[in-house]
Amino acid sequence: MKGVIGAVAVLAIAGSAWAGDYHSGATLNCSECHVMHFSQSHGYNGSGIFTPLGGDGPHEHLLRNEINDLCLSCHNAQTFAPDVFGAGTQSGLVRQAGGLNDAALGAPYDETHGHTLGSTDDPPGNDGSWSPDAEHGLMCVDCHQPHGYGAQVENPYRNLLYSRGGQPYPGLTPDYAVGTNDLTKDVYEVVNSGSDHYSFDNIFFNEPEQTESAYAGWCKGCHTDFHGIKGGNEVGGADGTEWLRHPQADADIGDVGGGHSSATVFAADAIWPQVMSPDELWHPTDPADVVNQTPSCFSCHKAHGNKNAFGLIFLGETAPITEEGTSDGTYKMMCKQCHVQG
């Protein structure tokens, strides 16, 4: 992205602080993002290392740079913080959320391939209740709380905002457990340290409420018109007939008539799309164990994006898995992970 900063102080000031979500509690370090007089020319304690000041300052809120450039100074092409922009820099790491793009990045991370920083376009499926800032476009802080949270949200997953797109969803900001799973939490991270902290195979999705997806409810704040539930007016009958939108909650694999999805097919997959599970059976091999597994937004899309249109994940049956899917993955193969028509 234009104006991305180079080396920064976080490595020296905070170390490799992977314990839980950053920007919270002891890791909420003011000087990493703010500067009092926009005049700093030396590091702290004689280190000579600090987050450089961006051009065209001073910036609002005493920030060291414009918001997206400031965030990317740590979160792009660095080894001490998650790389969330374009291609990742950690070899072999398949990021759960993939990578953001912007207008200057270009192929293969085109603007149609995920969330585009700086874009002033309304989100796909938006009902008109929210639009990006007219001057700055889509910003990292439109989705993430840079200062973390207090007691109002317990363990918010990835510091996601408490509400999205002007649509408050109390209780639907996804929360998470680390180390030991808690089925009342929406997300389970096996470990919260090391380079694979943000890897897709370190992150699993629980289903605390059988008829809800906190993850999808949060996404609905912007992508409102894309969401529906089984049996609701937006997706047709409870037997799967005349659905208008793919459900993102309350529609388990193989639980509706008409052959719309197959527990047998899902259980026989060599590689599984990610689903919500109320019983930790994310990779069942017995069709009888599939009946509670529920697809949601992350089953088909990368939250930030990837090299495919709309951040879609084209999974086939041939390893290895990449952020785009698999080498034999296509639109058709993605659908056939759960569906049997044809």
Nearest Cα to Cα of residue 193 among 184, 202, 185: 202
Residue 235, pLDDT score: 52
> For residue 8, what pLDDT is reported?
42
Residue 52: domain span: 1-81
Rounded-to-integer distance, Cα 14 and Cα 313, Å: 34
Q: Is residue 48 part of a domain?
A: yes
- pLDDT (0 to 100) of residue 294: 92
In a domain, 41, yes or no: yes
Tell whether 107 is covered by a domain.
Answer: no
| Residue 261 CA to its chain's centroid (Å) | 25
Task: Report pLDDT for 47.
Answer: 61
Look at the block and give the residue holding tokens 């539930």: 229
Closest CA to 212 of 300, 310, 297: 297
Range 36-74 burial, b when 16+ CB lie within 10 A, else e = eeeeeeeeeeeeebbbebbeeeebeeebbbbbbbbbbbb
Per-residue pLDDT in tens (0 to 9) along the chain, 342 residues? 433 433 444 433 333 333 346 787 778 888 889 999 998 877 776 666 678 888 888 999 999 999 999 999 999 998 888 899 999 888 889 999 999 999 999 999 999 999 999 999 999 988 888 889 999 999 999 999 888 776 556 678 888 887 655 554 544 688 899 999 999 999 999 988 776 789 999 999 999 998 889 899 888 888 888 887 665 545 555 555 667 788 888 888 987 655 578 899 999 999 999 999 999 999 999 998 888 899 999 999 999 999 999 999 999 999 999 999 999 999 999 999 998 876
Report if residue 300 sits inside a domain.
Answer: no
Residue 229 is encoded by which pair of tokens? 């539930």
For 200, residues 6+ apart whose C-beta sits below 8 A from its C-beta are 94, 95, 96, 274, 321
Q: pTM for the complete prediction? A: 0.88
Cα 208 to Cα 187: distance, rounded to the nearest angstrom: 10
Number of domains within the chain: 1
In a domain, 214, yes or no: no
Q: Are 245 and 234 in contact (CB under 8 A)?
A: yes
Contact yes or no for 329/319 (Cβ under 8 A): no
Residue 16: per-residue pLDDT: 36
Residue 102 lies in a domain: no
Q: Sign of the CA dihedral 152, 156, 161, 164?
A: negative
Residue 278 maps to a domain: no
Establish if 56 belongs to a structural domain: yes
